[in-house]
Structure 1
Amino acid sequence: MHDHGGGIRCFPAAAVLAAAMLTCAAGDLIKVGDKAGWTPDVNYTHWAAHRHFFVGDWLYFVFDKRYYNVLEVKKANYERCDDGEFMKNVTRGGRDVYNLTEARSYYFLSSGGYCFHGMKLSIHVRRSPPPPPPSPSPDVKSAKGGASPESGRDRAAALFMAVLISIFILRLL
């Protein structure tokens, strides 16, 4: 901590980042469009049809912010590719995350006519994922040499998401 006179103490940015990493580790980080990212001529309807989205998950939009953006819109606007009355502009820097906080349908599009080139996404978010399978007993885990690959992937995804959120927070400061 740093004392800035007058007895007020400020936590360094690392403490803020650590807190964000701990509080944001729930849910999965899902890169929209996989390798293609958020770009024209990708069938996001097909992409989303093969995934499950749950409250607490994060959408990760990767795009060139000079040309594209991400707007959350209502269903009618999504269907017409109408960006005139968007609900929220998700765009910050082209590597943007969006937390799915409610069980409902979400609609996103890119303005500037890019929606007509496929840059629109509709997903339905459910309350919670199915319960995980029972974990093996401690004896089985130690016989296999420690944690499962799934737990390593989960930790890596949580850390990656925390880093992205930390970058977002630093941009706000």
Structure 2
Amino acid sequence: MLITMAMAMLGMVLGASHTVGAPAGSWDLQTNYTLWASRTRFTIGDELQFQYSTTMHNVVEVRKAGYDSCNSSNPIATFLTGNDVVPLAAIGTRYFICSVPGHCAAGMKAQVNVKSKAVRTVQRCRGTGKRLRCRSETVLSSATTAGTDQSAVAQLGLAVVAAGLVLFF
């Protein structure tokens, strides 16, 4: 049990899990996936989780042309479980559609831009006109900006494993 808990904590350090459409939706016809993806920073090591009814939908990963035309005839991957987990292992853009006729055209498609975990510099400005004051700020990956202190989680996970081993032996 302790090892499972430690592995879960380690997973939080390594990458974030993004439920597609959350918090207000899922993989459905009501969610605006362009808006959802624009509010999320996806980095290497993260994963996408598609949750949907298997009797109503599916998930097909396609290339940009398939995404733009809602054509799933040449898929990269097809997912059918209703609780599909897709690891984001490389930098680049990934494209997902529902291949049920009419669903993609109705907006059931998501474009995910995967970035490096490296820190980035953001310029923040305040004021107006000639009184505009700007400063640069370092921003970390998605898990850190979500309020998770990655080093603290890693240390806690190691402490739990160590305590478990001491108690076990």
Contact 1:41 1:117 in 2 (8 A): no
CA deviations over 1:44-95 (Å, ceiling 9, x no partner): 011111111101001111111111011110000000000111110133x211
CA distance in 1, matches of 2:36, 2:71: 22
CA distance in 2, matches of 1:73, 1:99: 15
Match of 1:128 among 101, 104, 117: 117
Is residue 115 from structure 1 mapped to residue 113 from structure 2 by the alignment?
no
Q: How far did residue 18 of structure 1 move?
A: 7.6
Residue in 2 aligned with 1:83?
Answer: 72
CA distance in 2, matches of 1:41, 1:79: 19
Change (3 A) 1:94 1:17: farther
Determine helix, strand or coil for the equivalent of 1:150: coil
Residue in 2 aligned with 1:4?
Answer: none
Structure 1 stretch displaced more, 24-33 or 122-131: 122-131
Residue in 1 aligned with 2:27?
Answer: 38
What TM-score does the superposition give when structure 1 sets the normalisation length?
A: 0.62
The number of residue pairs the alignment matches comes to 127
Q: How far did residue 130 of structure 1 move?
A: 2.0
Query: Tell me, which stretches of 5 or more residues in structure 2 are unaligned?
Result: 121-137, 140-146, 154-169
Residue in 1 aligned with 2:88?
Answer: 100
Higher helix share: 1
Query: Tell me, which stretches of 5 or more residues in structure 1 are unaligned?
Result: 1-13, 134-148, 156-173
2:83 is matched by which residue type in structure 1?
R
CA distance in 1, matches of 2:53, 2:7: 26
Structure 1 stretch displaced more, 21-30 or 72-81: 21-30
CA distance in 1, matches of 2:77, 2:28: 19
Residue in 2 aligned with 1:68?
Answer: 57
Higher strand share: 2
Match of 2:148 among 141, 147, 150: 150
What TM-score does the superposition give when structure 2 sets the normalisation length?
A: 0.63
Residue in 1 aligned with 2:158?
Answer: none
Q: CA RMSD in A?
A: 3.1
CA distance in 1, matches of 2:4, 2:60: 26
CA deviations over 1:2-45 (Å, ceiling 9, x no partner): xxxxxxxxxxxx8x978975774410011110131000132101
